[in-house]
Amino acid sequence: MIDFLLLLFLVICAIAAVRMKDLLSAIMILGVYSLLMAVVWTRLNAVDVAFTEASVGAGITTMLLIAALSRTRRGEENGRKSPNLYHTLAAFAVVLVTGAVLIYGTIDMPNFGDPNAPANHHVAPRYIEKSYEETHVVNFVTAILASYRGYDTLGETTVIFTAGICVVLLLRRKREQ
């Protein structure tokens, strides 16, 4: 029941964020969406992903969006034209094709928690048995993130740091002389 309520709240937040005309309100709703996603990740026992979602998604991203908003207008202009039917249909077609490709890509995936999934027979036992021997880290989840996926984690951190620096450079105020 809690999972259904979380899904319902996520859908409501997504629709509300898209429908908002006030950008600050949309940013706040997206922050709530990220916090709800952190709860979803926690319910799926992926606390490392939940922590990242809460800190990056709800924290840093919300702050950067508010900083970007301080350099732009807060709402939509009243005299703005609505999109024509061609653009609306084209966007809808892109969404349908993307959704179909994503669904097609998940058809042969094993069920969630399936003990006969390939990852449970080949990958997980090796990490559980060999992680301490190879990394000398007691917690094998930490061993996987810090050692086996070290370059991946370093790459993600570098991308986030570079994006943050770019946003700061774009949003800095010019000195008046």
Is 78 a residue whose pLDDT tops 70? no
> What is residue 142's predicted lDDT score, i.e. its pLDDT?
78
12, 25 contact by CB (below 8 A): no
pLDDT single digits (tens) 9-51? 999 999 999 888 888 999 999 999 999 999 999 998 888 788 8
Q: How confident is the model at residue 4 (pLDDT cuts 50, 70, 90)?
A: very high
Share of the chain above pLDDT 70, in %: 93
The total of other beta-carbon atoms located within 10 Å of residue 66's CB is 14
Global pTM value:
0.59
CA separation for the pair 64, 119 (Å, rounded): 37
CATH number of 1-76: 1.20.120.1200
Is 114 a residue whose pLDDT tops 90? no
**What one-character-per-residue DSSP string does 4-66 give?**
HHHHHHHHHHHHHHHH-SBHHHHHHHHHHHHHHHHHHHHHTT-HHHHHHIIIIIIIIHHHHHH
CA separation for the pair 50, 57 (Å, rounded): 10
The number of CA neighbours under 13 Å toward the Cβ of 49 is 10
- H or E stretch covering 91: helix 85-105
The total of other beta-carbon atoms located within 10 Å of residue 152's CB is 10
pLDDT single digits (tens) 149-177? 777 777 777 877 887 788 778 777 666 55
> What is residue 144's predicted lDDT score, i.e. its pLDDT?
80
**Look-up of token digits 């993600």:** 156
Is 95 a residue whose pLDDT tops 90? yes
Q: Where are the domains of the chain?
A: 1-76, 117-177
> What is residue 177's predicted lDDT score, i.e. its pLDDT?
52
> What is residue 173's predicted lDDT score, i.e. its pLDDT?
65
CA separation for the pair 97, 105 (Å, rounded): 12
Residue 131 tokens read as 């992680």
> What is residue 67's predicted lDDT score, i.e. its pLDDT?
82
CA separation for the pair 166, 168 (Å, rounded): 5
Q: Could you tell me which of 93, 89, 2, 91 has the C-alpha nearest to residue 42?
A: 2
> What is residue 105's predicted lDDT score, i.e. its pLDDT?
92
Is 70 a residue whose pLDDT tops 60? yes
